[in-house]
């Protein structure tokens, strides 16, 4: 849609996976600047000496986490059709690991989209030696049960002890193909949430010093307040 400043806000939804999940958010923003210019979009730019494309991003992912549901608002000075051809231009211009799957025009800034979000759902998958998987699975189940009944869940974060329980909206255990793990819903409260690694650290506390497992974490979906 067109804003009062004769600008159009194109909201682009994308997946982030592969090696780029290890790229810091600030560097990912630079990737967007370069790639959107390469896509030859009619971009709006900031004012001042060092002008850059006007973009607004969804809440930043933690380093090492992949996602199926990231979004960015791109300000354009001319409306272009948000169709399959434009989607292809996006995907051709961006490096591997960033895959766009939806484009749509919106009427308001990104804060209005974020305000509608209730929580994020993450899938945390653990891989370890087969002889340990049954034990790890039982540990996960016990810790999930403890979270459900606890008033507080205290974890160490940046040399401070923090209660993450208010941000946890639920955990569920899963096991398949020699792997175990859990899904966790983390609430967005006053524009802030918690890193899913904090939940992982609490659940896997027994094993954290033993380097006996590896983990993959992916943001699976966004849960809206209207759902």
In this structure, the answer to whether residues 82 and 138 fall within a common structural domain is no
Q: Which of 74, 92, 115 finishes a domain? A: 115
Q: Summarize the confidence of residues 125-148 as an average pLDDT.
A: 87
**Looking at the structure, do residues 16 and 104 belong to the same domain, yes or no?**
yes
Q: What is the pLDDT of residue 132?
A: 78
In a domain, 205, yes or no: yes
Residue 133 has pLDDT above 90, yes or no: no
What are the start-end ranges of the H helices in 78-195? Answer: 84-93, 110-115, 130-149
Same domain? For 108 and 127 the reply is no
pLDDT of residue 210: 60
Q: How many CB atoms lie within 10 A of CB 175?
A: 16
Residues 36 and 133 reside in one and the same domain: no
Q: What is the mean pLDDT of residues 159-165?
A: 93
Does 3 reside within a domain?
no
In DSSP terms, which residues pair with 209 in a beta bridge? Answer: none
Q: Are 7 and 80 in contact (CB under 8 A)?
A: no
Structural domain includes residue 35: yes
Specify the pLDDT at position 61.
93
Q: Are residues 212 and 124 in the same domain?
A: yes
- What is the average pLDDT across 95-118? 93
One domain for residues 82 and 142:
no
Q: Is residue 105 within 8 Å of residue 82, measured between CB atoms? A: yes
Which of 28-32, 49-53, 113-117, 197-201 is the most confident on average? Answer: 28-32
Q: What is the β-pairing status of strands 8-16 and 98-106? A: antiparallel
Verify that 96 and 193 share a domain, yes or no. Answer: no
What's the pTM?
A: 0.91
Structural domain for 73, as ranges:
8-115
**Side-chain-side CA neighbours of residue 162 (13 Å):** 15
pLDDT of 5 strictly over 80 = no
Q: How many domains does the chain have?
A: 2
Residues 162 and 147 in one domain: yes
What's the mean per-residue pLDDT of the chain? Answer: 91
Give CA separation, 8 vs 3, 85, 128, 196, in Å.
6, 18, 49, 34
Tell me, yes or no, whether 1 lies in a domain.
no
Of 115, 143, 163, the position where a domain reaches its end is: 115
The per-residue pLDDT for 196 is 94
Specify whether the CB–CB gap between 218 and 68 falls below 8 A: yes
* 142 & 102 share domain: no
Choosing from 57, 90, 115, the residue where a domain stops is 115
Q: How many residues does the chain have?
A: 227
């Amino acid at each position: 849609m067109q804003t009062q400043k004769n600008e159009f806000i194109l909201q682009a939804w994308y997946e982030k996976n592969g090696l780029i999940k290890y790229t810091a958010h600030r560097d990912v923003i630079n990737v967007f600047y370069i790639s959107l210019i390469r896509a030859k979009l009619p971009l709006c730019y900031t004012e001042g000496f060092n002008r850059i494309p006007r973009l607004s991003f969804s809440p930043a992912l933690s380093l090492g986490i992949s996602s199926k549901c990231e979004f960015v608002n791109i300000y354009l000075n001319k409306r272009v059709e948000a169709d399959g051809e434009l989607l292809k231009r996006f995907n051709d211009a961006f490096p591997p690991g960033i895959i766009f799957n939806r484009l749509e025009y919106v009427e308001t800034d990104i804060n209005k989209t974020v305000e509608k979000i209730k929580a994020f759902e993450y899938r945390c998958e653990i891989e370890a030696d087969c002889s340990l998987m049954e034990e790890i699975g039982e540990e996960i189940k016990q810790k999930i049960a403890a979270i459900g009944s606890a008033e507080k869940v205290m974890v160490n974060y940046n040399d401070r002890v923090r209660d993450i329980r208010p941000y946890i909206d639920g955990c569920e255990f899963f096991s398949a193909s020699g792997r175990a793990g859990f899904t966790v819903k983390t609430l967005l409260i006053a524009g802030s949430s918690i890193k899913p690694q904090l939940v992982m650290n609490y659940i896997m506390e027994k094993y954290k010093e033993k380097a006996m497992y590896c983990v993959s974490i992916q943001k699976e979906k966004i849960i809206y307040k209207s759902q």
